[in-house]
């Protein structure tokens, strides 16, 4: 039996690439350069499976071509807003993602950003490295206390819940959540969390707000200038979800005006481009999309993709099918 032809669009952890090569007729990308749109479009005619990441745009126009061979897009990552799933489904292409395995590490990074912004850790490290630290003094680089404060979580899926567990268990924070659908009472109870009816109701209550909702068109500029203005003066925003969820210009304006106390960002609307207004904003911690970037998690994400491919090519429903 011929083995399915599989295209991996970026370099993956070695152990996972070796596992893929054992099972499939696999094309790797050792140079790790993001593929040009024309290459991805061509690949749809050449491969049974394509394994994209957030750096591959698979918009509707990609699928508008004859002779599509691809039957599954097995995405490496939980977020799949870079894939037009309706257009893929219309061409009979299945789409899977990699949930669960990255929840802990992404929540860890959200908490890292929250703590760094609250305690001015990025700013402090920059000062020290620049040789500008003049020594201890009672009023040096005063931040804001985290323990016991109120955290608002927008999007209470697996990662949002992992964030709540850290905030409540580690820092005794009060957790409020806003979610599209009603969260099961036992889930709220586990986290000692309360659900509010709207983002408008959430924002004025919170010292910190962390985003854990999906990206894509439906959540574009979910936090716009009007909503950012509802945040408490001095509040801190954390985004490990997707850049487009926040109006970056409005956020930068609120930071420069000193209305918000800071921000911790891991994702940007036009990655890898980061707007100058954010680079120069006070007390803003900026990381290069590291949410799931641990060896354990990146390997587990790869194995989750393989499990989805195994199911799919054996004629079983893949566990993580999203379209
Ligand atoms: C991934 C992420 O590394 O899973 C996601 O949605 O944002 C990251 O953890 C990236 O998207 C890979 O495609």
| pLDDT (tens digit per residue) in 75-110 | 999 999 999 999 999 999 999 999 999 999 999 999
Tokens of residue 193, six digits = 């969390």
Catalytic residue among 242, 244, 248, 298: 242
| 311, pLDDT greater than 90 | yes
- Residue 9 confidence (pLDDT): 98
Q: What's the pLDDT tens digit per position in 199-209? A: 999 999 999 99
Q: Give 4's pLDDT tier (boundaries 50, 70, 90).
A: very high
Model confidence at 171: pLDDT above 90? yes
Residues contacting 131, CB < 8 A, separation 6+: none
Structure tokens at 129: 């490295």
pLDDT for res 259: 98
Domain 103-286 has CATH 3.40.50.720: yes
CA–CA distance, 45 with 48 (Å, rounded to integer): 8
Residue 110, both tokens: 């959200």
Residue nearest to atom 6 of ligand 1 (CA): 79
Minimum CA distance residue for ligand 1 atom 1: 77
Catalytic residue, from 120, 191, 289, 304: name it. 289
**Alpha carbon distances (Å) from 141 to 128, 146, 232:** 12, 15, 21
d(CA 118, CA 274): 21
- Into which CATH architecture does domain 5-101+295-313 fall? 3-Layer(aba) Sandwich (3.40)
Residue from 46, 125, 271, 296 carrying the catalytic annotation: 271
Q: How many CA atoms lie within 13 A of 247 on its CB side?
A: 13
Ligand 1 nearest atom to the CA of residue 77, by list position: 4
Cβ neighbors of 50 (< 8 A, separation 6 or more) are 6, 7, 9, 40, 43, 44, 70, 72, 73, 74
* Residues 184-195, mean pLDDT to the nearest whole number: 97
C-alpha 299 to ligand 1 mean position (Å):
13
Number of the ligand 1 atom closest to the C-alpha atom of 76: 13
Number of Cβ atoms within 10 Å of the Cβ of 255: 22
Task: Determine the pLDDT at residue 7.
Answer: 98
Condensed to tens digits (0 to 9), the pLDDT of residues 52-61 reads 999 999 999 9
State the closest ligand 1 atom to the C-alpha of 97, by its place in the atom list counted from 1: 4
Q: Annotated catalytic, 271?
A: yes
Backbone angles phi, psi at 192, to 5 degrees: 55, 35
| CATH 3.40.50.720 domain locations along the chain | 5-101+295-313, 103-286
Using the mean position of ligand 1's atoms as its centre, give its distance from the Cα of residue 258 in Å.
Answer: 31
Instruction: Report the pLDDT averaged over residues 139-167.
Output: 98
Query: Is 289 a known active-site residue?
Result: yes
């Amino acid at each position: 039996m011929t083995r399915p032809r599989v295209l991996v669009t970026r370099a993956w952890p070695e152990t996972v690439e070796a596992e893929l090569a054992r099972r499939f007729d696999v094309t790797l990308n050792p140079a790790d350069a993001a593929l040009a749109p024309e290459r991805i479009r061509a690949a749809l005619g050449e491969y049974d499976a394509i394994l994209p990441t957030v750096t591959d745009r698979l918009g509707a126009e990609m699928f508008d071509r004859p002779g599509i061979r691809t039957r599954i897009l097995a995405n490496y990552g939980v977020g799949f807003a870079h894939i037009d799933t309706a257009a893929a489904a219309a061409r009979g292409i299945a789409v899977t993602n990699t949930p669960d395995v990255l929840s802990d590490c992404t929540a860890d990074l959200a908490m890292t950003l929250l703590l760094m912004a609250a305690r001015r850790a990025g700013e402090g490290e920059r000062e020290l490295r620049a040789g500008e630290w003049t020594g201890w003094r009672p009023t040096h680089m005063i931040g804001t206390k985290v323990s016991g404060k109120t955290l608002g979580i927008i999007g209470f899926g697996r990662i949002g819940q992992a964030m709540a567990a850290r905030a409540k268990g580690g820092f005794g924070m009060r957790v409020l959540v806003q979610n599209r659908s009603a969260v099961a009472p036992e889930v709220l109870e586990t986290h000692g969390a309360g659900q509010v009816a709207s983002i408008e109701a959430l924002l004025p209550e919170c010292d910190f707000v962390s985003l854990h909702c999906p990206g894509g068109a439906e959540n574009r500029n979910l936090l716009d200038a009007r909503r950012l203005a509802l945040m408490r003066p001095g509040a801190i925003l954390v985004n490990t979800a997707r850049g487009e969820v926040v109006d970056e210009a409005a956020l930068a304006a609120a930071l420069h005006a000193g209305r918000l106390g800071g921000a911790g960002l891991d994702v940007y609307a036009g990655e890898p481009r980061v707007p100058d207004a954010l680079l120069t904003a006070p007390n803003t911690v900026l990381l290069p999309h590291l949410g799931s970037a641990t060896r354990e998690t990146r390997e587990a994400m790869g194995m989750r993709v393989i499990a989805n491919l195994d199911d799919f090519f054996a004629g079983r429903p893949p566990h993580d099918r999203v379209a």
